[in-house]
Amino acid sequence: MARKVNLRIWRGNSTDGGLQNVTVDANEGEVVLDVIHRVQAEQMNDLAVRWNCKAGKCGSCSMEINGKPRLACMTQMGSFEEDETVTITPLRAFPVIKDLVTDVSFNYKKAMEVPAFEPPVGMKPGEPRMEQIDVERSQEFRKCIECFLCQNTCHVIRDHEENKKSFAGPRFFIRIAELDMHPLDILRNRKKTAQEDHGLGMCNITKCCTEVCPEHIRITDNAIIPMKERVVDEKYDPVRWLGSKIRKREGIL
């Protein structure tokens, strides 16, 4: 039942590295993470890879498979051609620590910059009453497993290290949208701060984040665009504003 598959795995550290060819068995139904584990157990004991649940629930095994940001645990080996060499590389937007493991601390710093949930003053535990329909909008964003594939694929930071300082990224736009739409959150101006402090305006809605989301969260349509529209309603002439943003960052598209 097992067949031989050829992989090219990026190995190296923060300063140096390259692709290494390896041939390994793959059994029926196996995912990329299974064959990486086999390589690790049999051929490269110290091959660094992050993973936790191997069930698509924790978002640890994010990497690039044939150049596409994917979860290794949810990518079937059967999705490739029989004789195809599968190339496995670390996330490109973050600094490499070793092999397939990158330093994703950028995301935790950004998480710290989003003002926390703030319930109504004086509300006591057990008191909240919310309609299902009202919680569902935020629940969609709370499905996020923090795999950071959206952050990795986003053009604004993927090739533009200098943008990282002022751009929170799609993961945190949905966090802000979640709080903004949260029936109990009382903090005002979340959309405005998304625009002014978290770089929402730098997003040019190419929807790459939505495409890679393993949870199928409609990041662009349900979080980013509604926030942009409302910010715009409040403050800007949309066409002129968007145009100026695009011109300012030539070469990003």
Partner 1 sequence: MSTSLERHKYDVVVVGAGGAGLRAAVEAREAGLRVAIICKSLFGKAHTVMAEGGAAASMGNVNDNDNWMVHFRDTMRGGKFLNHYRMAELHAKESPDRIWELEMWGALFDRTKEGKISQRNFGGHEYPRLAHVGDRTGLELIRTMQQRIVAMQQKDARDHGDAESYIKVFAELTVTDILKENGKVAGVYGYYRETGKDVIFEAPAVVIATGGVGKTFKITSNSWEGTGDGHALALKAGANLKDMEFLQFHPTGMVWPPSVRGILVTESVRGEGGILTNNKGERFMFNYIPDVFKDKYATTAEEADRWYTDQDNNRRPPELLPRDEVARAINSEVKAGRGTEHGGVFLDVSKRLSAEVIKKRLPSMWHQFYELAGVDITKEAMEVGPTCHYVMGGVEVEPDTAAAIGVPGLYAAGEVAGGMHGSNRLGGNSLSDLLVFGRRAGMGAVEYVKNNGANPVSDATIAKAAERIEAPFKRSGGENPYALHQELQEVTHNLVGIIRTKSEIEEAITKIADIRRRASQVTVSGDRTFNPGFHLAFDLDNMLLVAESTAKSALLREESRGGHTRDDFPEMSSKWRQVNHISSFDGTQVNVKAQALPVIPKELFDLFDPHELEKYMTPEEMAKGGSN
Q: Any contact of residue 168 with partner 1 (CB under 8 A)?
A: no
Q: Any contact of residue 55 with partner 1 (CB under 8 A)?
A: yes
| Only segment of 23-31, 158-166, 187-195, 230-238 that touches partner 1 (CB under 8 A) | 23-31
CB 103 within 8 A of CB 164: no
State which of residues 81, 82, 116, 253 lies at the interface with partner 1 (CB under 8 A): 116
State which of residues 49, 88, 203, 231 lies at the interface with partner 1 (CB under 8 A): 49
CA 95 to CA 118: how far, in whole Å? Answer: 34
**Nearest to 93, CA basis, from 62, 51, 61:** 62
Q: Any contact of residue 15 with partner 1 (CB under 8 A)?
A: no
Q: Any contact of residue 138 with partner 1 (CB under 8 A)?
A: yes
Q: Which residues pair with 23 in a beta bridge?
A: 6
| Only segment of 114-122, 193-201, 203-211, 227-235 that touches partner 1 (CB under 8 A) | 114-122
CA 76 to CA 34: how far, in whole Å? Answer: 9
Report the site for partner 1 in 200-239 (rule: CB under 8 A): none
| Only segment of 91-99, 158-166, 186-194, 226-234 that touches partner 1 (CB under 8 A) | 91-99
Among the residues of 45-128, which ranges form H helices?
105-113
Give Cα separations from 241 to 34, 136, 192, 235 (angstroms).
48, 31, 15, 10
Q: Is the dihedral of CA 98, 53, 25, 45 positive or negative?
A: positive
Residues lying near partner 1 in the complex (CB under 8 A) are found at 13, 27-31, 34, 40-42, 45-60, 74, 76, 97-99, 101, 103-104, 108, 111-112, 115-117, 119, 123, 125-126, 128-132, 135, 138-139, 142-146, 179, 182, 184-185
